[in-house]
Amino acid sequence: MSLTAAEKFECPYCMTFNDLEIDEVNDIGQQQIVDCQICCQPIEVLIIDNGFGIEVIAKRDDE
**What's the per-residue H, E or C state across the chain?**
CCCEEEEEEECCCCCCEEEEEEECCCCCCCEEEEECCCCCCEEEEEEEECCCCEEEEEEECCC
Q: What is the pLDDT of residue 5?
A: 86
Are 5 and 19 a contacting pair, CB within 8 Å?
A: no
Nearest to 38 by CA among 19, 54, 60, 22: 19
Q: What is the pLDDT of residue 7?
A: 92
pLDDT per residue over 21-44, tens digit each?
A: 999 888 899 999 999 999 999 999
Per-residue confidence at 2, pLDDT binned at 50, 70, 90?
low
Return the domain boundaries, the chain: 4-60
